[in-house]
Amino acid sequence: MLIRQSSIFASIFAIAIVLFLGTGVEAFAVKPSPPLTLSLSNRDLPDGQTELILQVLAHTTVEKVELSIELPASLALVSGDVKWDGPIAVGERREIKAFIRTLANNPAKVYGAADVYFEGGGSLSQRETLLLNAPKEKKLAPKEPPRLRQQGRETILEFRGK
């Protein structure tokens, strides 16, 4: 009787394993993507001005988008736009350009923003940051190569620092 119960239990267990493994359903997870791709870039111009470009690419149709470039007090707007709003369609690109001049040679953070407003309510904000007038990295002096020196039968490598 004991042998019969263990073989029934083993059979039920084996059937359960086969059913579990055989009827497995594949599960997929989809990472949500933002409705827009946002980028903020700059280009130095020969006349001492800097061109700021805020670009957006729509991955879905949005009825209301607000684009803006926020300038710190150390930067002055010479010409161009720092705001735009309106609808944007799937695959459409929009950009705003601003020409600025530096008032102080201090590092300055420029912020680009895209605020998306959905029809059913709710909103989404995307931000990009650009650092202008970043401090230059100091170049290190090249190291002196080691010198070979003979001392008796031995060769010695000498490393000298400054």
Query: pTM here?
Result: 0.65
Q: What is the pLDDT along the chain (162 residues), one digit of tens a residue?
A: 445 566 777 777 777 777 666 665 665 667 777 889 999 999 999 888 999 999 999 998 989 999 999 999 999 999 999 999 999 999 999 999 999 998 888 889 999 999 999 888 888 899 999 998 877 777 766 677 777 778 888 877 776 665
| Alpha-carbon distance values, 142 to 58, 160, 161 (Å) | 48, 12, 10
Residue 1: per-residue pLDDT:
47
Could you write out the three-class secondary structure of 88-143?
ECCCCEEEEEEEEEECCCCCEEEEEEEEEECCCCCEEEEEEEEEECCCCCCCCCCC
Distance between CA atoms of residues 73 and 14, nearest Å: 74
3-state secondary structure (DSSP) of residue 41: strand
How large is the C-alpha radius of gyration of the chain? 32
CATH H-level, domain 36-132: superfamily: Agglutinin-like protein, N-terminal domain, N2 subdomain (2.60.40.2430)
